[in-house]
Amino acid sequence: MGFSDARFDVNLSILFTELPLLERPAAAAAAGFTAVELWWPWTDAPVPAQRQLDALRNALRDAGTHLVGLNFYAGQLPGPDRGALSVPGEESERFRANVEVAADFAQSLDCTALNALYGNRVQGVDPAAQDALALENLTLAARAAHRVGATLLIEALNAPESPDCPIVSAPKAIEVVDAVNAATGLDNARFLMDLYHLARNGEDLEAVIDRYTPLTGHVQIADNPGRGAPGTGTLPLEDLLDRLHTNGYTGWTGLEYQPGNTPSADAFAWLPRPQRATTAP
């Protein structure tokens, strides 16, 4: 796979954020990309106004960009309070209110991957109760994803940046994937393999790839340290993508890195322009 064969998409919630949301798809297209992904764009609105949904849909279509991945509502991203589905009370209620809205929006744009982020541990609440709530909400999300022909993604974050999140290793994420698939019988939950988060956790990335590629529904990359573009840190990202390809991965690879002190449009020098326009796997 490497850089020459991978299908890259740009995460418009971490790149091009110097621009208003509705201008980002066109900016990504101007940089040569045809595929994008997004965290849930309205951090305070799990159910935004229809005009907001329509405006974003039109911006993506007008730019000629294909939305290939979308997060369910997950609270404030980026930030330490990321994730909602396992948080009792208002946050999990907001997640549930968002599930069908996000699934319908994804379906309207032929987006087939929906990411559901676990929430932080809450002081004074039994972790087992949080995990039971999470499984209930993930089951709801998996059924909504199945209804629109999408995969439900389960992502491991990293402990240094998200110390209160319980999903901070590949094996733990796979445990959740297996639990959701067992609960629904739909077999549409998959691992979101974010190589940056796994590297921050100190995991053996080659071993993770060799073991979990068959259960992987999406890949995201950023270099480490620094969460910058490939080549700004020490991760052998091209070799790791080659290893994913050898193990059978043919899906999307999301560029989820920070552009640093330069405009986002200048943060892709590592990737020749002809390799930025990609077609569906």
Residue 175 annotated in active site: no
Decide if 9 contacts 252 (C-beta within 8 A): yes
Q: Name the catalytic one among 37, 91, 203, 256.
A: 256
Q: Name the catalytic one among 90, 155, 161, 175.
A: 155
Q: Name the one residue in this structure whose structure tokens are 């297996």.
A: 178
Q: Which two tokens stand for residue 123?
A: 């002081």
SS3 state of residue 99: helix
Q: How many helices (H) and strands (E) does the chain have?
A: 9, 8
Residues annotated as catalytic are 155, 256
